[in-house]
Amino acid sequence: MAPTRRDFLKLSTAGGVAASILGFDLAPAYAEMRALKIARASETRSTCPYCSVSCGVIIYTQGDGAKNVTPFVVHVEGDPDHPINRGTLCPKGSSLQQDILNERRLLKPQVRRPGSDRWDDIAWDDAINEIGRWVKKSRDATFVEKDAQGHTVNRCEGIAWTGGCTDTNEFNYLVVKTMRSMGLCYIENQARV
């Protein structure tokens, strides 16, 4: 029996179906790449606020700073150029994004009055004025001009200052200037570097 044209077409179709089932896939051998979520994010250098080691971190923010955009943090990781941690972070530092985007984060000044059992909201201006008033009062009450031997000392023993690991050099310079000018001796910082 000589194969007719019709038979040839049938055979070709069957062969093609078989080939496609059994795997002659001409799709290119590429796989989709996962998108880098910080590719065009804005980088902000900062310092981890948790412990005294003061690791440098980079905060990645969505948006390029255009006028209509409220930027939001998409990722935080270690700053490889920071001499203290060189990009590494501990588990607390690694979770800093949760610290920034947190509904329980404190965003306003609060005051707890003597004898009170709760924190009350206070306006920034009121807070600063009140701090100024208390500083003045404490300093006036505890300023020592001369010690027991009659040496001039001009020191204020009733106030202490402590700084945090996120304070910058410039901030610390101003702190020391201000505090020394009031005669403070007890100046400390949490950072240990």
Residues that bind other proteins (CB under 8 A): 1, 3, 7, 10-11, 14, 17-18, 21-37, 39, 75-78, 80, 85, 87-91, 93-95, 97-98
Closest contact distance (angstroms) between CB of 64 and other proteins is 18
| 84: DSSP letter | T
Residue nearer to other proteins on the CB measure, 95 or 178: 95
Please count the other Cβ atoms lying within 10 Å of the Cβ belonging to residue 87. 14
CB of 165 to other proteins, least distance (A): 16
Taking alpha carbons only, the member of 127, 134, 74 closest to residue 100 is: 74
Q: Which is nearer to other proteins, 18 or 131 (CB)?
A: 18
Tokens coding 179 = 């505090």
Quote the CA–CA distance of 72 and 68 in Å, as a whole number.
Answer: 13
Answer yes or no: are the C-beta atoms of 161 and 135 closer than 8 Å.
no
Nearer to other proteins by C-beta: 60 or 156?
60
CB of residue 38 vs other proteins: minimum separation in angstroms? 9
Q: Which is nearer to other proteins, 28 or 114 (CB)?
A: 28
State the Cα–Cα distance between residues 90 and 106, nearest whole angstrom. Answer: 23
Shortest Å, Cβ 48 to other proteins: 11
